Amino acid sequence: MKLPFDDDFFDLVIMIRVIEHLMNPDNAVSEVYRVLRTGGLLIIATPNQASWFNRLLLLLGHPILGIDLSTKWRYHYPLGVTQVISGHVRLYTVRALKQLLSYYGFKVLKVKGYPQVSSKTRIKGRIFIYALDRFFAIKPTTASNIFMACQKI
């Protein structure tokens, strides 16, 4: 739906872990573009579909983490991880998110990766996994999560 703000109203819009829950991300991104002033910033963060652990899970024949397979049944992954019902309807890679934002007129200024911080998906007592997650967060394309700073041009 249309946001209740005039065109060119904001200098900054922040969408932290929102876009993956939207049925119509195109509307959301175009509305953000509309309400941002030229030169305004969009900060967006979302899980990374191509994270190091999703790549490993696919290689081992498991579904990726982050997309609901069912609204009731939960998939059981290795290391005692059970699927969390997340409400995510889509996931993005760094490249896909960049392309989506560029399509709507944003210039991507900075891309960073960050490790999984949600206690819902942590593996208790697995310090090695946490260390790997922090290591792979150095490179955004393999990080658990994507953080982007974009500018309306």
Q: In this structure, is residue 107 part of a structural domain?
A: yes
Q: What is the pLDDT of residue 81?
A: 80
Q: What is the pLDDT of residue 38?
A: 98
Is the pLDDT at 34 greater than 90, yes or no? yes
- Inter-residue contact 21 to 87 (CB < 8 Å): yes
Mean pLDDT of 41-55: 97
Q: In this structure, is residue 126 part of a structural domain?
A: yes
Torsion of CA 66, 70, 73, 74, to 10 degrees: -10
pTM of the model as a whole: 0.89
Q: What is the pLDDT of residue 131?
A: 85
- Inter-residue contact 50 to 94 (CB < 8 Å): yes
Q: In this structure, is residue 4 part of a structural domain?
A: no
Q: In this structure, is residue 19 part of a structural domain?
A: yes
Mean pLDDT of 12-37: 97
Question: Domain containing 120: what range?
Answer: 10-152
Q: What is the pLDDT of residue 64?
A: 93
- Name the DSSP class of 146: E
Q: In this structure, is residue 1 part of a structural domain?
A: no
* Digit-coded pLDDT (tens) for 73-131: 889 888 778 788 889 999 999 999 999 999 999 999 999 999 986 544 455 556 777 78
Q: What is the pLDDT of residue 124?
A: 55
What percent of the chain is modeled with pLDDT above 70? 93
More confident residue, 19 or 68: 19
Tokens coding 151: 């500018």
Q: What is the pLDDT of residue 118?
A: 55
Q: In this structure, is residue 58 part of a structural domain?
A: yes
What is the rounded average pLDDT for all residues in the chain? 91
Q: What is the pLDDT of residue 49?
A: 97
Is the pLDDT at 4 greater than 80, yes or no? yes
Mean pLDDT of 2-12: 96
Distances (CA, A) of 50 to 12, 54, 87, 106, 118: 28, 6, 18, 22, 18
CATH number at residue 95: 3.40.50.150
Q: In this structure, is residue 3 part of a structural domain?
A: no
Number of domains the chain is built from: 1
Q: In this structure, is residue 33 part of a structural domain?
A: yes
